[in-house]
Amino acid sequence: MTNKAFKSIPFVMLLLAITFSCSEKEETIDNQTNIKNNPVIVTGKLHNQGLAYVYEKSLLNQNYDSDSAMNEQIILDGLKFLHSTDEASNTDFFDEVFVSHYNGTEETVLSEPLQIELQKLIDYVDQTITETNENGGQEIFEYSQSIINTPPEHLDEFEKLAWQHAVDVMGYSAQYWYEYYGDWKDETNLKGEFSIVSKGPKKGWWKKFWKKVKKIVVADFSGAASGAISGGLSSGTWEGAGIGALSGGVGASVGAAFRK
């Protein structure tokens, strides 16, 4: 090896070290950007935990003198659950999101492009939850998980995030209500549609079931989407969008379960 070549070795090693360091730094920045732009979506799981909490605290073996007394208890228990998972400072705002969706708010903060994308999900649910498809809940869940990481490109960043929250809630909601709607029905003291003389399915029960579940699932993920937009606009953070999605989703879910 010539003396000139030998002297160039430190320079080459330094150049390689700098290149590796820059590459590693760029990769770290890319990873951080990906984490920021692709937050982990756990809204669906929390949504179902919230429903289970309300069922146990508000309905299971409970008796109420009136519909309004039951509604008040459901709202209180729903808010207790949200507060147990809420890390945002603007708690009053997310309480309002929950209550407004429970009461069936008609207001919308959804843009037209996002509404169009949600309508596609509504159409899918409408085609999947049918009188003859008793596996619709699992099918919707599997579909939701297959598309959740591919939000429509034409949506802006918060809209993409809201869409992801909605898709996640759609899948988990369908799973939950296919399994537990009968239990909720049995535990209510309401007259009319929800009154049951004896436990267990009745003639024509499935027909009423799938129609009701379809409405609830649509209300759930629509509420999650609008809650995510409201939470994102209010807080300006991904976390606020997530809390808003949970508040809107759970509120709309239990509200739709009781609205006729």
Spatial distance between the Cα atoms of 235 and 59, rounded to a whole number of angstroms: 33
Statement: residue 259 has pLDDT above 80: no
Greater confidence (12 vs 165) lies with 165
What is the pLDDT confidence band of residue 249, given thresholds at 50, 70 and 90? very high
Spatial distance between the Cα atoms of 245 and 98, rounded to a whole number of angstroms: 9
Residue in 238, 216, 89, 95 with CA at minimum distance from that of residue 159: 238
148, 232 contact by CB (below 8 A): no
Say how far residue 19 (Cα) sits from the centre of its chain.
43
Spatial distance between the Cα atoms of 54 and 132, rounded to a whole number of angstroms: 30
- Cβ-based neighbours of 184, under 8 Å, separated by 6 or more: 55, 59, 257
Backbone angles phi, psi at 80, to 5 degrees: -60, -45
Considering the entire predicted model, what is its pTM?
A: 0.79
Average pLDDT over every residue of 217-244: 90
Predicted local confidence at residue 35, as pLDDT: 32
Residue in 257, 242, 256 with CA at minimum distance from that of residue 45: 242
Predicted local confidence at residue 108, as pLDDT: 81
Predicted local confidence at residue 113, as pLDDT: 95
What is the pLDDT confidence band of residue 156, given thresholds at 50, 70 and 90? very high
Spatial distance between the Cα atoms of 205 and 192, rounded to a whole number of angstroms: 14
Write out pLDDT tens, residues 8-60: 444 444 444 444 444 443 333 233 333 345 567 899 999 999 999 999 999 88
Average pLDDT over every residue of 181-189: 77
**What does the DSSP assignment read for 17-29?**
HHHHHHHHHHHHH
Statement: residue 76 has pLDDT above 90: yes
Predicted local confidence at residue 27, as pLDDT: 38
Spatial distance between the Cα atoms of 64 and 91, rounded to a whole number of angstroms: 28
Write out pLDDT tens, residues 100-140: 999 987 678 899 999 999 999 999 999 999 988 989 999 99
Find the length of the chain: 260
